[in-house]
Structure 1
């Protein structure tokens, strides 16, 4: 594939010159977009993105499984705080891997003031994922975080920056505080963001102090470019008006995109399948997006060559695509789950439901209907409700002013005792345990119960149907890239200078 031309993003004059890729590989949750996938995409000149969600669980469990290939220990050998990295290895690494009947160790939970061991685990986990994605090439790598998981954001981004991440992408909320967080961390200062506390009477923050964690081992950090994931041009315009919160660009994500999506504007209406109904008010005005003047990429049903070309004609730099990469052989999805999905795809009966109740966050969440997964009512009902990974817990203020934590996916009586309602628990699924099971690190319980998987994809399957026609046994990340850009013009190589606009990447 041809090398990608580069240009300068205009929002921060001190930012490094970085590539503007035609294709951004989606940052799919809990290491579906792991380092292997991101590296394959980035080395072609496009933007490979690792998930910044639950990387503490990923590295801890991979180490307990013996660190196959030695990849995470190889990455940690390059971590600037060698003592911190060694503590993580000493705590979690099991030579030869744990006995399959042995549960994974519990992890420190995210809190307003997460224990130091938990902060260290998150920092080294995100460092390792980015470092491995960048190993062996000079392409750009991004990390994707969810605004809804605020308690994890400062440590996740610090770890990614220590790994040399080039882009930070964030959606599932209004990530207005991220630009300042990046500036603070790049300066070696305390990075903090406000936290949404249910019933809160005071503004509260979660923070990370890089000097306190790393001391003299703290290297000079470079501020990555920030792409805010938005659903509407109004939000993009709002963020662009203020230099303090202005991102370096946007990903405009339409409702069909996989994972979480913004709820419809106005009163929630459901169709005959119980899925949210979206309308014209839920679509961004692309002319207004182009008028903002910052680069933007389109996402959500942009997984075919004609859709990529249409996005570029509308003024976008390119597209962000998830589903085609989630299903490729380089993603973190287990072979068994991937083959089950591909079998359904080959048979023409693969279905993705936009479940308005699945996520404890209250955001609609796309769930693939598959046997032996949480998508099936009997599997969901058979699972004992519990919240042990706790990434989606909501902080709330107790009557005495202290902070508690609750999750609509935890046992109903516990949620109600903490001030929640029974109605909010109905249909809620444990995304944390389901998504970790999807990548092969699901928890094995002491009673012998194995956490079932939960697979998410986008609703638009046209690109996937064409790829399975072309590649009946499955496809790679490079196969997906070659397909996506086949209607884009081949760029003419030229020097990269100033803010000169570059042609889209192609193969």
Structure 2
């Protein structure tokens, strides 16, 4: 295991900016971009990125499945608060794993007043993921987070920084506050994040390392690369973020996962997909004029795309789809095999669904039997909200902060002031993406949560790849 950052007498708030990679591996889904994939990418010269989304639940489910290789326990053994790590093991580790059909134990869903359990496990989960991804090499490791998951942002960032994360990448929102948070944590100070609250004043959450019996030592400040879909947003973040930004991921609407909505009035094509036009194209000369490095993302999984990006002044590309289906990724083996088989047959389809995500952002969905992409599977699933990552905060009539999600049971959503018209077509991405990575919850009645696969529009290019290919193969081909 590589050495952890060493505290110094003077705070080190200036980010460590290593040689810029030409290829950044996308931070995909829940545990798809896991430590194994990120570590392999780093070992072969790219920037490997772990996903921090839902990392608290991922940690607990790995432990409940017996931690077969012992990797989680090995990383927890070097967490700087041994008592916290040991308490987690005593509560969740099952040496023999779960019994067939047994549900995973759940964490209480965090709220504005009660989030200690989620924060402790997020701290541990982010630390474990980055620690394992850093083993055996000295290259930087990245962390990807969704800006909209505000309740979990602070502990995910601090846990990753404790493990020596080198780069933080964030999209699905405007992460204006993140640079200042990184500066504060790097200087050994508490950090605060403003949480959006619909219908009223926001709330401020603060993480003080001392509250978790962690010494507030200075840490290495990671580079920060927000994901943007326009040069205008990039310019705003470069000038008005709470601290310095070191570069940008410029993501087009062909990228997998969440997409930025089209600019202007929403228009749908004959399939019901948002229509993107010239206003959604990024002005690359304007990006160059900002004077910061940037990487192009979305449909960039070819050597030609890398050459074109470099010629346009980019530092390189970010690639998701090819890495998602590589043998080292955390995606379930049966899903990989099904998609790669269909790719050979030319029978794959990706639909940009304007309704699937509770966030309201368009979300790329792979049409695949047995998943929530199928109307009959979606209709048969009983609505339940037991993870709650994509809930929105809102002000109740009494002035308190409540939490709701348009993918939860409709009656519950309406009782919280939500409109029933916002619920049709909304899918529980939290449970579905856990299922994609092999951590499907068993709900009451023995029903196992179905998955919902996301991918970029270039999924059909997988027909050129032999099943069983690895991340090293991807990098070799991209670099020509």
TM class, shorter-length: over 0.9
Residues 233-382 of structure 1 aligned to structure 2 (within 5 Å): 233-242=231-240, 244-382=242-380
Q: Secondary structure at the match of 1:19?
A: coil
For the residue of structure 2 that corresponds to 1:460, the secondary structure is: helix
Cα distance in 1 for residues equivalent to 2:59 and 2:275: 38
Structure 1 residue 244, shift from structure 2 partner: 3.3
Q: Is the 8 A contact 1:188 1:211 kept in 2?
A: no
**Matched residue, 2:26:** 26
Aligned residue number for residue 478 of structure 1: 472
Q: Alignment partner of 2:32: what SS?
A: coil
- The answer as to 2:134 corresponding to 1:134 is yes
Query: Counterpart of 2:431?
Result: 433
Q: Indicate if the aligned counterparts of 2:38 and 2:49 stay in contact, CA closer than 8 A.
A: yes
Secondary structure of the corresponding residue to residue 463 of structure 2 = helix
User: Quick check: 2:13–2:186 contact (8 Å CA) kept in 1?
Assistant: no
2:228 — aligned with what?
A: 230
Output one character per residue of 1:450-497: Cα deviation in whole Å (capped at 9) or x when no partner.
00011111012364232x2xx2x33100011111111xxxxxxxxxxx
Kept after mapping to 2: 8 A contact 1:148/1:172: yes
For residues 180-228 of structure 1, the C-alpha deviation after alignment (integer angstroms, 9 at most, x for no partner) is 010111122221111111101x231122111211244x54311100001
Pairwise CA RMSD: 1.3
In structure 1, the gaps of 5 or more residues are 1-11, 487-507
Gaps of 5+ in 2: 1-11
Q: Which residue of 2 aligns with 1:491?
A: none
CA contact (8 A) 2:166 2:222 kept: yes
Q: Distance in 1 between matches of 2:51 and 2:108?
A: 19
- Hey, what's the Cα distance between the residues in 1 that align with 2:232 and 2:276? 17
Paired with 1:114 and 1:340, the residues of 2 have a C-alpha distance of 41
Query: Any idea what SS the aligned residue of 1:130 has?
Result: helix
- 2:346 & 2:310 partners in 1: Cα distance? 30
Task: Give the Cα–Cα distance (whole angstroms) in 2 for the partners of residues 45 and 396 of structure 1.
Answer: 44
Which residue of 1 is the match for residue 396 of structure 2?
398
Relative to structure 1, the CA distance from residue 243 to residue 394 in structure 2 (aligned partners, 3 Å threshold; closer, same or farther) is closer
CA distance in 2, matches of 1:405, 1:332: 30
Matched, 1:104 2:104: yes
Tell me the distance in 1 between the aligned counterparts of 2:34 and 2:185: 24
What residue is the counterpart of 2:3 in the other structure? none
The one-character-per-residue Cα deviations of 1:382-441 (angstroms, maximum 9, x if unpaired) are 000010000001010001110100001000011011011111101000000000000100
Note if 1:205 corresponds to 2:204.
yes
Distance 1:20 1:100 in 2: 46
CA apart distance, 1:445: 1.8
Structure 2: distance between partners of 1:57 and 1:358: 22
For residues 415-454 of structure 1, the aligned pairs below 5 Å read 415-454=413-452
TM-score by length of 2: 0.96
Q: Residue 176 of structure 2 contacts residue 241 of structure 2 at CA under 8 Å; is this kept in 1?
A: no
Encode CA deviations 1:134-167: one digit per residue, 9 max, x unaligned.
Answer: 0111111000001111111101111111111000
* Mapped contact 2:350–2:459 kept (Cα < 8 A): no
Runs (4+) of structure 1 moved beyond 3 Å? 242-246
Indicate how the Cα distance of structure 1 residues 422 and 13 shifts in structure 2: closer, same or farther if over 3 A, else same: closer
Distance (whole Å) between structure 2 residues aligned to residue 42 and residue 277 of structure 1? 36
- Secondary structure of the 1:277 match is coil
Aligned twin of 2:122 = 122
